[in-house]
Structure 1
Amino acid sequence: MRHTFPFRTTPAVLMLLVLLAVSALGGCGYQFVSQGKVALPEDIKTLAIKRVDNPSMETWLPAELIARFRDEITSRAQLRWVDKSDADALVYIDIEFFDVTTAVSDDKGQTEQYVATIKVRARIRRRLTNAEVWDSGYKYISERFLASDQQSARRKAVELAVRQIVDSMQNAY
C-alpha cells in the first residue's frame, strides 16, 4: 500500500523537516560534531600542550583541562597530538579563575546544586618561531549543576569551558 503525504513534498519542505529534526535532536543532548575548518593556518596539523598556568589551589585542574582539550580536538578529527619536539604548534592554557560553591541545599544541609565558575583561555603558538597564531580569548563559564558531588560539578564546568574554546577554534568562516 502506498502512503501519501497530505501536502506536496518539495525540496524546501524536505529541508525544513531535516532542520527541524536536527534542532529537536540537538535539544535532547545529541551533538553533531562539526568537521568545519579550523581557525589556524593550513600548515599547522599537529599540536602539543606546552603549559597550563594554574593560579588556583585545584591541583587536579591542569590535568583535567589537558585531557578534556585533547579529547575534544581528537573527537572532531581536526588535528593530531604529537610530542612537543615534533609539533607544528604548542598550546598554552591560562586559568584565570576557578571556583565551586553550594547554590542550593536541602533542609538537612545536603547540597543539591553547585555553581561552578571558570575563566580560562587557550593560545596556540608556532613551535619554531613562538608566533601566536590563535587565541580563544577568555571563556567565562558560571553554571548551576545538579550533581551528585562537588567533583562532578567541577568536571562538568571544565568540560563546558573546553567545548566553548574548541567551538571558537572552528569559527573560521
Structure 2
Amino acid sequence: MWSSARLAPLRAALLCMAALLVLSGCAGYTLSADGPSTLGDGTKTLKIKGVENPTMYANLPHIIRSQVRDEIGARKLAVWKDSGPTDYELQIRITQMTLRRWAGDRQTTAILYSSVMGMEFILYNGSTNTVAWQSGVRYYSDLLDTYDEAAAIKESTKQLVRELTDAMRRNF
C-alpha cells in the first residue's frame, strides 16, 4: 500500500520540520523584552540630564519627563533618582513637534489632530560624562480623534517614549 518511494519525500519533510523546531531556539536568540538593557540589570541609577525643547510647546518637557520616569519604572530598567549622582544620565532631544487640527464642517463636533513628533535619547555615563548609548532620532506620527490638544500631545509623546525605551533593550 505505501511504498518506500512514496514515503521518502514525507520522511524528508518531517525531518526538516523537526530540525527547524529543534534548532530555532539555538544561536542565543531570546525575546528582547526579557534580555538585558543598555542600562544593565535594573539596579543602576538614572536621572534626566535635560530636555532640549526647540518647539513652542512649553509643557512638552514636563510631559516627557513624567512619561519617561513612568516607562523606565514600569519596566524596571533602572532605579530612578531625581537629583544627585547617578550611574547614568538621560539627555532627551526633541527634534520636531508638529500638531495640526482638523475639523469637518460647522455641524461636525469631531476634531482630528495630526501629530508628527521626533525625539532622541542620549544616555551618558554618570561618572565619566561620556555617551554610553544613543538612540538616533525616532519619529512617530498619528491621526488622533480627540477634542483636546493636550491629550493629543500626551498620546503622541507616550507612544514615542515607549518606542525609544524599547530601543534601550535592543542589543543589535
Shorter-normalised TM-score: what interval? Answer: 0.7 to 0.9
Task: Give TM-score scaled by structure 2 length.
Answer: 0.74
Secondary structure, aligned partner of 2:69: helix
Partner of 2:87: 88
2:82 and 2:155 mapped to 1: Cα distance? Answer: 28
* Unpaired segments ≥5 residues, structure 1: 1-33
Provide the secondary structure at the position in 2 that maps to 1:162: helix
Conserved? CA contact 2:39–2:78, under 8 Å: no
Name the counterpart of 2:148. Answer: 149
Aligned with 1:78: secondary structure? coil
**TM-score using structure 1 length:** 0.73
Hey, what does 2:38 align to over in structure 1?
A: 39
Q: Which residue of 2 aligns with 1:119?
A: 118
Instruction: Report the AA paired with residue 96 of structure 1.
Output: T
The structure whose Rg is larger is: 2
Aligned match of 1:75: 74
Q: What SS does structure 2 have at the residue aligned with 1:39?
A: coil
Using the TM superposition, give the Cα deviation of residue 44 of structure 1 relative to its aligned residue in structure 2, in angstroms: 7.2
Mapping 1:1-173, distance limit 5 Å: 34-40=33-39, 45-108=44-107, 110-172=109-171
Q: Identify if the C-alpha distance between structure 1 residues 43 and 149 changes in structure 2 by more than 3 Å, giving closer, same or farther.
A: closer
Residues paired across the two proteins, number: 141
In structure 2, what is the Cα distance between the partners aligned to 1:102 and 1:96?
20
Q: Partners of 1:106 and 1:36 in 2: how far apart?
A: 50
Cα deviation for residue 152 of structure 1 reads: 0.9
Q: AA paired with 2:170?
A: N
| CA RMSD in angstroms, aligned pairs only | 2.2
- Which of 92-101 and 43-52 deviates more? 43-52
Shift of 1:59: 0.7
Return the offset for 1:39.
2.2
Q: Quote the offset at 1:113 in angstroms.
A: 1.1
Structure 1 runs of 4+ off > 6 angstroms? none
1:67–1:35 CA distance, 2 compared to 1 (3 A): farther
**Structure 2 Cα separation of the partners of residues 137 and 108 of structure 1:** 44
C-alpha contact 1:53 1:95 (8 A) present in aligned 2: yes
After superposition, give the CA deviation of every residue in 1:103-147 in whole Å (9 maximum; x if it has no partner): 452443645211111111111101221110111111111110111
SS in 2 for 1:59: coil
